[in-house]
Each structure stands twice: as structure tokens, then as C-alpha cells.
Amino acid sequence: MSKNIRIVIIEDDQIIREGYTLLIGQTEGYAVVNSYESFDDAAKTITDDNPDVILLDIELPGTNGIQAIPRLKRLLPHTYILILTVYESEKTIFEALANGASGYLTKNTPATRIVDSIREVKDGGGPMSVNIARMVIKSFQRNQESPLSKRETQILEQIAEGKSRSLIARDLFIDLETVRSHIKNIYLKLDVNSRADAIKTAKENKLI
């Protein structure tokens, strides 16, 4: 026995919604069990749909897609959420992922890729459009041209972990005064004069 993957679509544009429904419904092994034009609409009955995967748009009337994610998660803890949107701003992407989305596709994604991604999400993958994946990877990467030396960077990291000077000194097997000295240089280079500002500046410039 082969069970279909149960899919719900939340998308306000009727044309797109029906397009996806048709596309996915045609595909062997996939079943669109319901579709809604807003989260507020979906919230009432979506638990009865018992979907495996929800295709979710970001721009929705009322509750937007980002806000909808944690609520959907609460309604359906074991359902995967796949974002399908035109939004490509970094903020939106990271919010969506942080809120619990399992994948993020932009709307120019080819039909076959969408269908594949639904399967992928259900199999524990994390499908992303190429440009999204690039942004995600970039978010991990440090600034290569940091003004800070290795040691300074290392110490700044520990500061960002909330460690006191003495703890840092102990953990790095150096003197308390050395830590102090490094911190002074860090402040000089970053043109700040407090831990909070140093961390802020460092994060903004991806130094840590």
C-alpha cells in the first residue's frame, strides 16, 4: 500500500493556488487535501485536513505567513511547512526558518522542483532555491578582512559568550592583564567602549 502525501496550500492568489493544486494533484503519490486563501481561514479546519506538508505563502491577508508558521506548528506539530513566495529579503527568510519552516522556495521555482521539494521535506530534507541557499550559506561566513587578529577574534567570541575577563584568562591559559590588553585593542580597532557595542559591531560586520 502506498499512501499519498497529504498537502494543504495556503495562498491568497486564486490563480496560483489553483495552479499548484492542479500541478500537484496530477502527480502520482501527492494529494492536495485542501487549500485556503489565508491563515485565518485555514486555522478553523486545517487540523481536520491532517496534512503532511503545508505550502505556505508569505504575503497573506490578515495573519501573514511568517506569523502563521508558529501557529500552524502548534496546531499541527508534526506537519512540515514549505514556504513558497516571491519574498527574498534576508530578514524574511531567516525569520521564516527560525519560526520553523522546513524549506524555502521562491515562486520562479520550476514545477518539477516544487514537487520534488515536497517529497524532500517529508523525507527530512531542507529544500531551498539556489539564491536562498546562497544567502543562508553566506550568513555562516565571516568577514575575511577583519581588522582583528586571531587572538582578538577569539577573545571577542568569548566575550559574546558572556564570559568575564578572568574566565577568559583561565580558559585561554593567559594572564588576566593580557585579556584586558586584548580587549582594549579590540575596542580601539572597533571604535567602541563597551562589551555590548563590541558585540554589536562585530556581528554587524560578521567578525564573529
Tell whether residue 141 is a contact of a copy of itself (CB under 8 A).
Answer: yes
Q: Is 26 in the site for a copy of itself (CB under 8 A)?
A: no
Pairing of strands 53-56, 30-36: unpaired
End-to-end CA distance of the chain: 51
The correct pick among 160, 172, 174, 176 for binding a copy of itself (CB under 8 A) is 160
- 37's grid cell: 486563501
Stretch that binds a copy of itself, among 6-14, 28-36, 50-58, 156-164 (CB under 8 A): 156-164
Other C-beta atoms lying within 10 Å of the C-beta of residue 81:
26
For residues 126 to 155, the per-residue mask of contacts with DNA, x marking binding by CB under 7 A and - elsewhere, is -----------------------xxxx---
Binding residue for DNA, selected from 171, 177, 191, 203, defined by CB under 7 A: 177
Q: Is 2 in the site for a copy of itself (CB under 8 A)?
A: no
> DSSP assignment, residue 203?
H
* Distant-in-sequence, close-in-space partners of 89: CB < 8 Å, separation ≥ 6: none
DSSP at 128: B
CB of 151 to DNA, least distance (A): 3
Nearer to a copy of itself, 26 or 134 (CB): 134
Does 184 bind DNA (CB under 7 A)? Our answer is yes
Q: Choose among 164, 156, 158, 155: nearest CA to 204.
A: 156
Q: Which residue is it, cell 524574511?
A: 92
Which of 6-14, 174-182, 183-191, 192-200 is the region at the interface with a copy of itself (rule: CB under 8 A)?
192-200
Cβ atoms within 10 Å, residue 22: 10
Binding site for a copy of itself (CB under 8 A): 70, 73, 77, 94, 97-103, 120, 123-128, 130-131, 133-138, 140-142, 144, 159-164, 167, 194-196, 198-200
